[in-house]
Amino acid sequence: MQDTDHLGRPIIVVTGVGLITSLGQGTDANWRALTAGKSGIHRITRFPVDGMRTTMAGTVDFIPVAVPSAPAMSERLAELVIEEAVTQAAIGQPGDFPGPLFLALPPVEMEWPQRLALAAESGARDTVTYDDLLRAAGSGDHHAYYERFLFASVGENLASRFGTRGTPIATSTACASGGTAIQLGVEAIRRGETESALVVGTDASVNPESLIRFSLLSALSTRNDSPETASRPFAKDRDGFIMSEGAGALVLESLTHARARGATILGVIEGCGEAADGFHRTRSSPDGKPIIACMRNALDDAGLTPDDVGYINAHGTSTPENDKMEWVGVSAVFGARASSIPISSNKSMIGHTLTAAGAIEAIFTLLTVRHGLLPPTINYDTPDPAVPVDCVPNVARAAVVSHAISNSFGFGGQNVCVVIGAAPGRS
Return the beta strands (E) in 314-402 as ranges: 343-344, 373-374, 397-398
Which of 236, 289 has the CB closer to other proteins? 289
- Using CB under 8 A, which of 6, 28, 90, 193 touches other proteins? 193
Can residue 212 be called a binding residue for other proteins (CB under 8 A)?
yes
Which secondary structure element, helix H or strand E, spans residue 312, and what is its range?
Answer: strand 311-313
The site map against other proteins for 37-76 (x = CB under 8 A) is ----------xxxxxxx-----------------------
Tell me the closest approach of the beta carbon of residue 153 to other proteins, in angstroms.
8
Residues 254-293, interacting with other proteins (CB under 8 A): 274-282, 290
What gap in Å lies between CA 301 and CA 391, rounded to an integer? 26
The site map against other proteins for 123-152 (x = CB under 8 A) is -x-xxxxxx-xx--xx---xx-xxx-xxxx
Question: What Å distances lie between residue 417 and 258, 264, 312, 352, 407, CA to CA?
Answer: 24, 25, 10, 16, 5
What gap in Å lies between CA 423 and CA 266, rounded to an integer? 6
- Using CB under 8 A, which of 1, 67, 90, 216 touches other proteins? 216
Can residue 180 be called a binding residue for other proteins (CB under 8 A)?
yes
Instruction: Check 294, 352, 391, 403 and give the catalytic one.
Output: 352
- Using CB under 8 A, which of 29, 63, 110, 399 touches other proteins? 110
Tell me the closest approach of the beta carbon of residue 140 to other proteins, in angstroms.
9
Beta strand pairing call for 267-276 and 56-57: unpaired
Tell me the closest approach of the beta carbon of residue 5 to other proteins, in angstroms.
14
What gap in Å lies between CA 89 and CA 347, rounded to an integer? 27
Amino acid at 175: C
Query: CB within 8 A of 411, min separation 6: which ones?
Result: 174, 175, 281, 282
Question: Residue 15: phi, psi to the nearest 5?
Answer: -120, -5
Tell me the closest approach of the beta carbon of residue 190 to other proteins, in angstroms.
7
Which of 275, 360 has the CB closer to other proteins? 275
Can residue 117 be called a binding residue for other proteins (CB under 8 A)?
no
CB 384, CB 234: distance < 8 Å: yes
Which of 2, 281 has the CB closer to other proteins? 281
Query: CB within 8 A of 87, min separation 6: which ones?
Result: 16
Can residue 413 be called a binding residue for other proteins (CB under 8 A)?
yes
Which of 42, 165 has the CB closer to other proteins? 165
- State the number of binding residues for other proteins (CB under 8 A): 82
With CB under 8 A as the contact rule, which of the stretches 29-37, 56-64, 174-182, 356-364 interacts with other proteins?
174-182
315 is catalytic: yes
Which of 38, 149 has the CB closer to other proteins? 149
Can residue 407 be called a binding residue for other proteins (CB under 8 A)?
no
Tell me the closest approach of the beta carbon of residue 426 to other proteins, in angstroms.
29
Can residue 112 be called a binding residue for other proteins (CB under 8 A)?
yes
Can residue 199 be called a binding residue for other proteins (CB under 8 A)?
no
| Secondary structure of 384-417 as H, E, C letters | CCCCCCECCECCCEECCCCEEEEEEEECCCEEEE
Tell me the closest approach of the beta carbon of residue 24 to other proteins, in angstroms.
28
Query: CB within 8 A of 31, min separation 6: which ones?
Result: 364, 367, 371
352 is catalytic: yes
Instruction: Write b or e for each residue in 368-382: b if 16 or more Cβ atoms lie within 10 A of its Cβ, otherwise e.
Output: bbbeebbbbbbbbee
Amino acid at 45: T
Tell me the closest approach of the beta carbon of residue 46 to other proteins, in angstroms.
11
Q: 132 pairs with which residues across the strands?
A: none
Can residue 303 be called a binding residue for other proteins (CB under 8 A)?
no
- Using CB under 8 A, which of 59, 172, 317, 348 touches other proteins? 172
What gap in Å lies between CA 315 and CA 321, rounded to an integer? 12
Catalytic residues, by residue number, are 175, 315, 352
